């Protein structure tokens, strides 16, 4: 069957991307300005020249062979644990925006109270499977310890799987320390982290250090590389794939020589540069094509993979936001991606979060998950006897077969309009942003904090207070 997103794409192309990536790794190498990472590479026989590490095909293949094809991430509420690598598509909200876009279009800095509110909305959203480590970056707390404040809110306000900070090796250790307070010990995957490379062909020392810390603990790593096509990487999609894949493979190698079997989620991206301004475009057909090909590469390496979420360049809940967000989210879902970050809430190249867009994207995510559900083909769903009974003159509305399924068979969005024009004209809130704002208030009002042992919460606060004092 023709994959229209990547119509000329086949096994030969995957082999080429891999071959060229190995060539880059072997001849050009990847820069790791991290003493800890460099020592690990040297210890395991990798060729190191200054801060540049070189990789042979054999070394890469040995690392890939130890990555699990599937794993479970546990939550403090066992019913919310997630499996990554199966046929599921697990979603997390926005990641890292420092600003909030208000309903009137104005922008302000995010604060810690926003973190708390977004965590509440994540907890209330059935379609979101785990929480981001930086749903927004609060500006009213010291940046060197902000990850502690964020993680405390995440732990206490949600009982879904967690993400830990990868801003530094120290932040990673502190994140794991909080996880140990929560679980007592860490002998299973309980905390996902995101490690991004820097393009072209390097990792920041802080990210590399964090990668080592999480790998030593056997915690899942999203290892992701991307470039701005035409500025920090080749302008062509094919070239950007080779560049970014090389960096991702290097990070995977590091994780596996530190601790073979460390769970990894493969990530790779590339977005066009707006040639008029030099800016980074984060929601485009090129991004969507990347997603489709990256999913194929994840399957090629037998590693679970991630995709981008409901991204948009828009700063309002308009047609552009809906079009771009749907294109990006659907490309990941239909191509077979396992994990999605930025599934809800982001505006303007992930610059800002919006409460109203979170609710609109939750509807979109719910629709996508319904789209992915297999169609049920059974004796009951075929309804053959009912069809025969009703013939050409029957009305199915009053039949028990309809009554039994009327609340579950179809996806029912919270915000979309499904009415006639007259009723729409009479509505107080015709525009989606108004309906979304009302729903935000309702969700926050209805939120109930999940149970957590008071002594554990006290220990979490005590640890964070001590770390802030020592910083």
Domain boundary among 314, 341, 372: 372
Whole domain around residue 97: which residue ranges?
64-372
Residues 305 and 215 in one domain: yes
Q: pLDDT tens string for the chain (471 positions)?
A: 445 566 567 888 999 999 999 999 999 999 999 999 999 999 999 999 999 999 999 999 999 999 999 999 999 988 999 999 988 899 999 999 999 999 999 999 999 999 999 999 999 999 999 999 899 999 999 999 999 999 999 999 999 999 999 999 999 999 999 999 999 889 999 999 999 999 999 999 999 999 999 999 999 999 999 998 899 999 999 999 999 999 999 999 999 999 999 999 999 988 888 888 878 788 888 888 888 888 899 999 999 999 989 999 999 999 999 999 999 999 999 989 999 999 999 999 899 999 999 999 999 999 999 999 999 999 999 999 999 999 988 888 989 998 999 888 898 888 888 888 988 888 888 888 999 999 999 999 999 999 999 999 999 999 999 998 887
Task: Please check whether residue 331 lies inside any domain of the structure.
Answer: yes
Q: In what order do the strands lie in the sheet with 346-347?
A: 107-109, 99-101, 352-353, 346-347
CA distance 57 to 392: 66
CA distance 94 to 92: 7
Q: Identify whether the C-beta of residue 221 lies closer than 8 Å to the C-beta of residue 133.
A: no
pTM score, whole prediction: 0.93
Residues 324 and 271 in one domain: yes
| Residue 174: burial class (beta carbons within 10 Å; 0-12, 13-18, 19+) | buried
Spell out the residues 6+ positions from residue 322 whose beta carbon is closer than 8 angstroms to its own: 360
Facing residues of 149 across strands?
none
Task: Please check whether residue 201 lies inside any domain of the structure.
Answer: yes
Domain boundary among 412, 434, 464: 412
Task: Please check whether residue 468 lies inside any domain of the structure.
Answer: no
User: Hey, what are 3's tokens?
Assistant: 């994959």
Q: In what order do the strands lie in the sheet with 52-54?
A: 30-31, 52-54, 47-49
Residues 261 and 393 in one domain: no
Residues 217 and 70 in one domain: yes
Q: Identify whether the C-beta of residue 324 lies closer than 8 Å to the C-beta of residue 283.
A: yes
CATH code of the domain covering residue 172 = 3.20.20.480
């Amino acid at each position: 069957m023709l994959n229209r997103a990547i119509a000329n794409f086949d096994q030969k192309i995957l082999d080429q991307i891999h071959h060229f990536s190995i060539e880059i790794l072997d001849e050009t190498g990847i820069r790791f300005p991290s003493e800890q990472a460099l020592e690990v590479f040297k210890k395991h026989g990798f060729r190191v020249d200054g801060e540049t590490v070189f990789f042979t095909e054999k070394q890469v293949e040995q690392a890939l062979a130890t990555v699990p094809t599937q794993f479970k991430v546990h939550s403090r509420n066992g019913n919310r644990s997630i499996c990554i690598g199966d046929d599921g598509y697990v979603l997390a909200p926005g990641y890292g925006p420092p600003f909030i876009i208000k309903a009137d279009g104005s922008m302000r800095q995010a604060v810690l109270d926003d973190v708390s509110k977004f965590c509440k909305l994540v907890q209330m959203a059935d379609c979101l499977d785990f929480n981001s480590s930086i749903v927004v970056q609060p500006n009213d707390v010291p940046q060197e310890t902000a990850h502690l404040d964020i993680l405390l809110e995440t732990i206490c306000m949600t009982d879904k799987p967690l993400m830990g900070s990868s801003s530094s090796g120290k932040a990673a250790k502190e994140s794991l320390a909080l996880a140990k307070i929560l679980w007592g010990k860490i002998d299973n995957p309980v905390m996902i982290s995101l490690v991004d490379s820097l393009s072209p062909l390097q990792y920041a020392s802080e990210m590399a250090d964090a990668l080592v810390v999480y790998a030593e603990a056997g915690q899942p790593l999203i290892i992701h590389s991307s470039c701005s096509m035409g500025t920090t990487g080749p302008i062509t999609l094919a070239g950007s794939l080779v560049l970014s894949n090389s960096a991702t493979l290097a990070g995977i190698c590091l994780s596996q020589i530190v601790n073979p079997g460390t769970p990894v989620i493969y990530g790779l991206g590339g977005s066009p540069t707006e040639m008029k301004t030099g800016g980074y475009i984060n929601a485009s057909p090129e991004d969507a094509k990347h997603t489709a090909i990256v999913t194929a590469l994840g399957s090629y390496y037998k590693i679970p993979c991630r995709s981008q979420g409901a991204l948009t360049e828009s700063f309002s809940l308009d047609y552009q936001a809906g079009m771009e967000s749907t294109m990006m989210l659907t490309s990941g879902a239909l191509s077979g991606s396992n994990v999605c970050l930025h599934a809800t809430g982001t505006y303007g190249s992930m610059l800002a979060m919006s409460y109203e867009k979170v609710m609109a994207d939750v509807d979109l995510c719910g629709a996508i998950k319904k789209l992915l559900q297999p169609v049920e083909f059974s004796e009951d769903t075929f309804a053959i006897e009912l069809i025969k009974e009703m013939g050409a003159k029957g009305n199915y509305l009053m039949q028990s077969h309809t009554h039994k399924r009327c609340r579950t068979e179809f996806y029912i969005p919270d915000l979309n309009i499904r009415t006639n024009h007259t009723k729409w004209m009479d509505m107080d809130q015709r525009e989606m942003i108004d309906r979304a704002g009302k729903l935000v208030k309702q969700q926050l009002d209805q939120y109930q904090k999940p149970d957590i042992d008071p002594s554990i919460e006290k220990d979490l606060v005590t640890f964070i207070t001590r770390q802030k004092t020592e910083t």
